[in-house]
A = this chain, B = another copy of it.
């Protein structure tokens, strides 16, 4: 409710177009509309084609189904992330149009929206084991109607593999780097690109890797200043941020 709408409301009231109870009620519930909060959150997504995701762990299949159905009313595509096989089976039994992308642990309901621009996000992984996390990011980006490219398995131990893709790296609007072990790839990519780099530490590694703590710390300490980091294995978060950046980028 902007100022003009408020003035109109007051005029309507003064002119007896609406009665006092209605205007009192409207203003009492207005705060959240006024501060553009609850409803707008939903509207923005519908309007901009953003997908809303359901984080599955700790929810029962019934809860997931209910939330997905509610979201599907407003969105052309709904994602449920980190769903294990058993949960996915229970959900798909009820929502037969949905599909389960096992590698990314995502339940996807609805088709990807059309891409509005040739700008693209680039997703790079250090190793083969980081591909599942990268795939979560890729699906998230596509679900936001954004173009995405990828380069897999070009870790720092064979850096030349990375350099052979210098063109696709230099033209990206944003780069998502998923790496476990020592997580050095994010710094290397940051050093040869001119766009924001979103780093995802993955939990791949052993011993003093501490389930992704090492690449997390390494990425946070990157000596290249265009790297920002998300939580360990958080492909969905990185995909969301990457989508936001690409969508607002100039062609």
Contact = CB atoms under 8 A, between A and B. Distances in A.
Contacts of A82: 206
Contact of A203 (B7, B191, B207): B207
Interface residues of A, number: 102
B191 A207 contact: no
| Number of copies of this kind of chain in the complex | 8
Contacts of A234: 206-207
Contacts of A23: 10
Contact of A195 (B20, B29, B248): B248
B190 A187 contact: no
Interface stretch (A68-76, A92-100, A154-162): A154-162
A143 B164 CA distance: 31
A187 to B, nearest CB: 5
Nearest to A47: B194
Interface of A: 3, 6-7, 10, 13-14, 20, 23-24, 27-32, 34-38, 41, 44, 48, 53, 57-59, 63, 82, 126-130, 155-161, 163-164, 166, 170, 173, 181-184, 187-188, 190-192, 194-196, 198, 201, 203-234, 236-238, 240-241, 244-245, 248-250
